[in-house]
């Protein structure tokens, strides 16, 4: 897995710089604002429904209790946040979603 680069100066962002990013990020090297590409934002929009479906399937298969379902949900969120910096792709222009 590789971390995304600045689309202007090719600066490679650090994992912790992108951890709680919301759609855009200022490049620490050239100062240019970087936006997540529409393609990646559309992919990210699928994560919620996929996680909910996955939890529903797990609950049906293993008849999990509410408490263990909450734990599974938390683990999925933590994994998602940890992995998310690797999923980004940047562009210097804000792209419309549709
Ligand atoms: Zn830059």
Domain boundaries, the chain: 15-91
- pLDDT, tens digit (0-9, with 9 covering 90-100), for 40-67: 999 888 888 988 898 889 889 998 888 9
**What is the 36 CA–ligand 1 centroid distance (Å)?**
14
Listed residue (86, 77, 94) closest to 18, CA to CA: 86
| pTM, two decimal places | 0.77
CA atoms 73, 76, 78, 39: torsion sign: negative
What is the DSSP-derived secondary structure letter of residue 6?
-
Confidence of residue 89 (pLDDT cuts 50, 70, 90): very high
Q: Find the 92 Cα to ligand 1 centroid distance in Å.
A: 9
Report CA(9)–ligand 1 centroid distance (Å).
Answer: 4
Instruction: Write out pLDDT tens, residues 8-43.
Output: 999 999 999 998 888 899 999 999 999 999 999 998
Give residue 97's pLDDT band: very low, low, confident or very high (50, 70, 90).
confident
What is the side-by-side order of every strand in the sheet holding 90-91? 24-26, 33-36, 90-91
Predicted confidence (pLDDT) at residue 80 exceeds the cutoff of 90: no
């Amino acid at each position: 897995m590789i971390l995304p680069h600045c689309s202007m100066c090719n600066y490679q962002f650090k994992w912790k710089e992108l951890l709680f990013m919301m759609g855009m990020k200022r490049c620490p090297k050239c100062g240019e604002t970087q936006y997540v590409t529409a393609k990646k934002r559309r992919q990210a929009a699928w994560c919620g429904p996929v996680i909910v479906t996955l939890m529903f399937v797990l609950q049906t298969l293993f008849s999990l209790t509410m408490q263990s379902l909450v734990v599974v949900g938390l683990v999925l969120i933590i994994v998602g946040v940890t992995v998310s910096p690797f999923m980004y792709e940047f562009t210097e222009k804000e792209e419309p979603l549709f």
